Structure 1
């Protein structure tokens, strides 16, 4: 079990306040880990405890955003259930593997994928609020969703962007609808990861729940902002977050 006294008391309010910002960003475009992961590393926590505790706050924030988007009628839980189950399985496998393997290779590959997300978001005329023709059926999209879920459980940064862009590009959803469904899939993969990390004793529950309260506050503000302003807010923030994550991951890689 991770030791809660590894974290100085002053970091609890500091990280809770940081979680408000990450919850806001996650609710709109994903990528709040760009801020929260370095903050947890700065707190001096072991890498796997960072991953596990971050998943707790992310689960709380995305859970709140999911509820807000569902209330706004942007997705049906019943229709999305097969996707959610597939994502849960993928994330569980990913979270089990990351506790045994080095994620170093992903730190180099993921920035390239995030650059592709940013370019697609900027250049594609389909990144608006209008639904388009789907390239994949619901069933055909299941392996894609499971793959992103696996990635979210294994490593995580950029998973929200990958969910959103594939839902737009492959399922033909408008960006606001895709963002709403992304939150359901994201909270599903977070729940699976939290279960696995908790069983492995890699979660600081008090810290994670304090941060979760902050993330939920940010998620309420962010989801309201997203449903009110739609693609004209989501699209540029998706680009900014993708590029920010790219820079951060590349810097981490080359800085060792």
Structure 2
């Protein structure tokens, strides 16, 4: 299939992956860029989603490592949460053909607009940690598997959901929440990729080319987020959540 794509188109897909890696490392929503680009390139929907998982895994991993190097997330202490997210993403992707998701698709835009409004309007949201409402163990046992399962089953808005959970329940500041979101996003994406590799038949070579661009974009995005923090993360999170909601509404109509 890659041989059927022109060099110009491959370069455009790589450019889309770079932009997606940059945005995703800061606020999530990189799939808003790459999935439509892959579909416009002529890939069938299942194959586009599978190929998107290939390159997306590398972008999320790069962002997670970048944040970990700055001490914003302790990879060893988060290994259990990552393992739970991996299993959730794997199971969700394996059950994607067995579980009716249309009702979720109708409600999802409303939820995403609500998340955008929360981060846009709630005062005092910055990089400072606040009161923790549930313990890390309970967060890992409840919030993580539910969102990761959703990531494997549907996917859009996963980063926004993790961000909301970390800020509202774990009490993390915006930058710390972003760092932990990227780690769990990577784990659930990896689980989903394994399942999609069986049923979606991703274009591995194209995914690898886009992954290189994703890594570069994710490194730049994570660096900017760590330098500016909530001042860049919050607006971009609001914009990506709103655009994703509008795109989902457009698809439903």
Task: Decide: shared fold, TM above 0.5.
Answer: yes
Which whole-Å deviations, capped at 9, do the CAs of 1:11-37 have from their partners, x for residues lacking one? 211101111100000000000111111
Residue in structure 2 matched with residue 11 of structure 1 by the alignment: 9
Unaligned runs of 5+ in 1: none
Which of 27, 32, 35 is the aligned partner of 1:34?
32
Instruction: Supply the distance in 2 between the matched residues of 1:18 and 1:103 (Cα, whole angstroms).
Output: 28
The offset of 1:126, in angstroms, is 4.6
Q: After the TM superposition, which of the residue ranges 241-250 and 78-87 deviates more from structure 2?
A: 78-87
Residue in structure 2 matched with residue 175 of structure 1 by the alignment: 174
Residue in structure 2 matched with residue 163 of structure 1 by the alignment: 162
State how 1:105-254 maps to structure 2 within 5 Å: 105-142=103-140, 143-254=142-253
| Contact 1:88 1:149 (C-alpha < 8 Å) held by counterparts | yes
The offset of 1:106, in angstroms, is 3.0
Q: How many residues align?
A: 252
Which whole-Å deviations, capped at 9, do the CAs of 1:143-200 have from their partners, x for residues lacking one? 1111110111111111111111110011000110010011100110111111111133
Which of 46, 65, 68 is the aligned partner of 2:66?
68
Instruction: Supply the distance in 1 between the matched residues of 2:49 and 2:226 (Cα, whole angstroms).
Output: 29
Instruction: Supply the distance in 2 between the matched residues of 1:31 and 1:97 (Cα, whole angstroms).
Output: 23
Cα RMSD after superposing both structures: 1.5
Instruction: Supply the distance in 2 between the matched residues of 1:110 and 1:211 (Cα, whole angstroms).
Output: 28
Unaligned runs of 5+ in 2: none
Are residue 55 (structure 1) and residue 71 (structure 2) matched?
no
| Contact 1:133 1:172 (C-alpha < 8 Å) held by counterparts | yes
